[in-house]
């Protein structure tokens, strides 16, 4: 991984964060929810902190993708080890059961904190996009990559929806506390 790649990743993180903060500062999610009142970022003074936070979190998308690429050869070796020790069918069953377990854990996390869950969805979809894009070359077939990117776009959409719904739940909860 070169320094120029890391620099480009940081620049893209800053640009995406700028758009993210602008969207929430402008109140676009509130128009979607038909909510009246100030936008989620109530003052311009909050903007630098929120921008730095989102830049850091967007950079985490690239870090997660980079880590996945660096770790993948070792993960493949681990997969081959388990194939050799347990056999193909047992490994396939364990992967299937693991998928269900992680899915149930994700659902539990979503129920407990939909706002954070939405952001994590965006983070993982972005990482999947980074990993997929870094594997695309002139000589590789693109059908799997295109399908993965389409799935990642869908997960980003769901993540934004969960994030906005989480903001709305938090707003309603705060209003209920104020009126109690």
Ranges 49-53, 65-69, 119-123, 152-156: which has the least confidence: 49-53
Of 119, 149, 117, give the one whose Cα is nearest residue 134: 149
Ranges 24-28, 64-68, 162-166: which has the least confidence: 24-28
Question: Looking at residue 33, what is its pLDDT?
Answer: 53
* Distance between first and last Cα of the chain: 54
Distance CA 62, CA 127 (A): 6
Kindly calculate the radius of gyration of the chain based on its CA atoms and give it in whole angstroms: 20
pLDDT tens, residue by residue, 133-180:
888 888 888 888 999 999 999 999 999 889 888 877 887 887 888 887
114-138 burial: b if 16+ Cβ within 10 Å, else e: bbebbbbbbbbbbbbbbbbeeeeee
Interhelix angle 88-112/47-86, nearest 10 degrees: 160
pLDDT tens, residue by residue, 94-146:
999 999 999 999 999 999 988 889 888 988 898 888 889 888 888 888 888 99
Q: Give the three-state DSSP class for 141.
A: coil
Domain residue ranges in the chain: 3-179
Rounded to the nearest integer, the mean pLDDT of the chain is 81
Percent of the chain residues topping a pLDDT of 70: 85
Q: Is 38 left (phi over 0), alpha (psi -120 to 50) or beta?
A: beta
pLDDT score of 63 more than 90: no
């Amino acid at each position: 991984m070169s320094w120029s790649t890391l620099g480009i990743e940081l620049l893209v993180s800053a640009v995406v964060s700028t758009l993210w903060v602008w969207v929430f500062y402008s109140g676009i999610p509130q128009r979607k929810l038909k909510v009246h009142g100030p936008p989620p970022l109530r003052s311009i003074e909050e903007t630098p902190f929120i921008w730095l936070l989102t830049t850091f979190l967007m950079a985490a998308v690239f870090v997660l993708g980079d880590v996945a690429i660096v770790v993948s050869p070792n993960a493949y070796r681990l997969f081959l080890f388990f194939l050799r020790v347990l056999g193909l069918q047992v490994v396939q069953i364990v992967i299937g059961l693991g998928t269900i377990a992680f899915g149930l854990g994700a659902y539990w996390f979503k129920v407990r904190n939909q706002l954070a869950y939405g952001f994590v969805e965006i983070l993982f979809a972005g990482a999947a996009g980074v990993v997929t894009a870094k594997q695309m070359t002139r000589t590789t077939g693109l059908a799997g990559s295109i399908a993965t990117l389409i799935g990642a776009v869908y997960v980003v959409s769901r993540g934004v929806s969960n994030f906005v719904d989480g903001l709305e739940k938090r707003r309603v909860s705060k209003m209920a506390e104020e009126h109690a």
